[in-house]
Amino acid sequence: MSQEAALDIERCNLNIKSNNSSHHTEPFGGERLIVRRGQPFSIILHLSPSSRELKVGETNLTFVVETGPLPRKESDTKVTFISQESTADTEWSASATRDASGRTVTVSISSSPEAPIGVYTLTLEQLGQKTSLGQFTLLFNAWCPQDAVYMPSEEKRKEYVLAQHGLVYRGTHKRIKGKPWNFGQFEPGILDICLKILDDNPKFVSDADKDISARRNPIYVTRVLSAMINSNDDLGVLVGEWEDFSGGTHPGLWMGSGEILRQWAESGPVRYGQCWIFAAVACTVSRALGIPCRVVTNFGSAHDTDANLVIERFYDENGDRISGYDSIWNFHVWVDSWMTRPDLGSRFDGWQTSDPTPQETSDGIFCCGPASLHAIKEGEVALKYDTPFIFAEVNADVEDLVRLSTGQFVKFSGSTKAVGHFISTKAVGSNERHDITHQYKYPEESKEERQVYEKAQHRNKLLKKGEEPGLHLKIKLAKDMIVGSNFEVYAVLTNNCMDARTCNFLFFARAISYEGKLGDSCGFSSDNLEVPAGEERRLSLKLEYKSYGTAITSDLLIQVSAITVDKQTIDFHKAEKIIVLDEPELGIKLVGEARLNQPVTAELTLLNSLPEPLLDCSFAIDGVGLTDGKPIIAKVGTVGAKQEAKASIDFKPIVAGSSVLLVNFDSNKLKNVKSFIDVVVKE
């Protein structure tokens, strides 16, 4: 900023009509500026007659945008940027031009394509002065290639972002009916209500700064909406009810989202909704915020309550159904939202399923998704969010079980194709039904479909055990590892993948000191192994005293390391453990009672566990009030391999009461072997 006088802004024209038109927000109306992120919009600054003129190229303008109750630079909810020659498409930026008269300045402002959505204030800062230029609302942008919700097809953008009317499919798979619905995302007041839904969510209440900042991410926003469209854990939009509709509106009477959202904004949770209502309202809110969204109906939809990917139906011996928790709905409705999944990898970009109907909890609250459609189709049930539940909705197997008089349940029939039929959504640009079953699953009972189901079952079982898919490497140690002995340790490679893996396997040992300094090698083993799916293979490493005896320090520590290289994926896996070798036991026995000022004898023994002699062996004893303040040493000399060192040491207690006698054994090979015994000295 030059030190010239500040520009005197008479008024700011937010250019609402033109900006809203170019940002595809014109249907919201012309009362306010509503723009989509990552795309420039222009404002016009009208200077007062007394203001100096803007000298383009010499004068830079400083702008500040802020959103949320506590705007902070660190959270990207407050951003300061200076006008340049042109705007950038990756960050907040501005450029300014003046007209021939010098009385008006046109400023082009481009928001970051990763900015949090919401209501912003725009301020001009000059020489310590702040001039408020107005407010604008920032939405996700399906037209911007840098935005996470970018959708390349204009025809699809018109359908999934701009269309205010649609069809929601209901009935049975043999009689599918498309029911009309008014999404009405551009109706007056609806956008503010959608933003209020975000502001009323518990995550905003507990940490507003973190929540506002996270609204840059459509994954986060979609998950919040999945929880807030129902009212089970919060004061969300709809109360679900499937039996008694007294005290509210029967779900079948609703015709559009607008009435529901306005009623919620005025008086809280609305009674009542069912799955198609929850989904339709979620679609309205998503489209209003700029996230491409479609309503999806699954016919023969499974509700898997115990997350085992199987719908279990129980019967008594008379054929009567026993009440159970698993069920298959004639149809169930949810939404798909379009976005990238940087948390999962680019192959999981695209449609993401979320389900606002309160069925099961996720992370402790009633919400579901978003789960990648590609992950659902491929049975990648380990990927977030809630993929196992949605996979089961479209592809669970069914088992019928009878309860015998003994109480035992026996399977008598089942089906692999009873779940997930004619998955439907409205076609783009027409009122035809578009069957998208192939996007969710492979053809029923095809080889691919069965392989995916088996993979999903396998990975789901691993998840329940707390294990992840992939290769897992660990080291198992021997039970007895006394210094001087020979023993074996094992590296265990478990294959939790769906196919066999071939790996290079290395297993080695080195001495190590207590401060972590590595010493000489004392063992090595290698192999090239094929590990079948679901199985494990072991590689042993024999540690012999003749190899480790000269390498270890007096700390008696050995570090063992195992490394595998998956030849197929070139993935490395490593496991390490430190072995603490056991010392031979030092025996202590007092001959007779310890009495004040009377001699007493300590008989000391230690078995040489080494396969070689010990030289310069000695025992030492010490104890407060027992040894007159200094150790008493007995030299033993040489002790043969596997032989016992023995010594008897006399001492005369000089203090009555309880004390402790410490004993130390030392030699050239076994150093500082210590033990103790409690001693009670009598008067």
Looking at the annotation, which residues are catalytic?
Answer: 275, 332, 355
With a CB cutoff of 8 Å and minimum separation 6, the contacts of 93 are: 81, 84, 86, 87, 109, 110
Question: Which DSSP letter does residue 74 get?
Answer: G
- Longest CA pairwise span in the chain (Å): 116
- For 226-257, the DSSP string reads HHHSB-SSSS-SEEE-SS--TTS--GGG--BH
Q: Which of 227, 270, 228, 264 is nearest to 250 (CA)?
A: 270
Provide the CA 268 distance to its chain's centre, in angstroms. 32
Which DSSP helix (H) or strand (E) runs through 287? helix 275-289
User: What are 34's two structure tokens?
Assistant: 């509503």
C-beta pairs of 230-235 under 8 Å, 24+ apart in sequence: 230/273, 230/278, 230/356, 230/357, 230/358, 230/366, 231/269, 232/358, 232/365, 232/366, 233/202, 233/365, 233/366, 234/200, 234/201, 234/202, 234/365, 235/200, 235/268, 235/269
Are the C-beta atoms of 671 and 614 separated by less than 8 Å?
Answer: no
Query: Which residue in 476, 620, 608, 504 sits closest to 566, CA to CA?
Result: 504
CA distance 400 to 412: 6
Residue type, 135: Q
Q: Which of 400, 172, 415, 179 is nearest to 300 (CA)?
A: 172
Closest CA to 226 of 158, 267, 275, 181: 275
In 3D space, the residue among 540, 526, 531, 396 whose CA is nearest the CA of residue 470 turns out to be 531
Q: Do the Cβ atoms of 46 and 134 come closer than 8 Å?
A: no
Q: Could you tell me which residues are beta bridge partners of residue 126?
A: 129
Distance from C-alpha of 33 to C-alpha of 558, rounded to nearest angstrom: 69
Q: Are 58 and 2 in contact (CB under 8 A)?
A: yes
Cβ count within 10 A of residue 648 = 12
By CB atoms closer than 10 A (0-12, 13-18, 19+), residue 30 is exposed
Question: Could you tell me the two tokens for 178?
Answer: 């498309």
Residue 599 makes CB contacts below 8 A (sequence gap 6+) with: 650, 651, 652
Task: Determine the Cα–Cα distance for residues 193 and 266; give it in Å rounded to an integer.
Answer: 10
Pairing assessment for the beta strands 129-139 and 34-36 based on DSSP bridges:
parallel
Closest CA to 252 of 267, 274, 271: 274
DSSP, collapsed to helix, strand or coil, labels residue 1 as coil
**What is the rounded radius of gyration, in angstroms, for the C-alpha atoms of the chain?**
37
Tokens representing residue 462 in the block: 């691993």
Q: Using CA atoms, how far apart are residues 242 and 458, in angstroms rounded to an integer?
A: 35
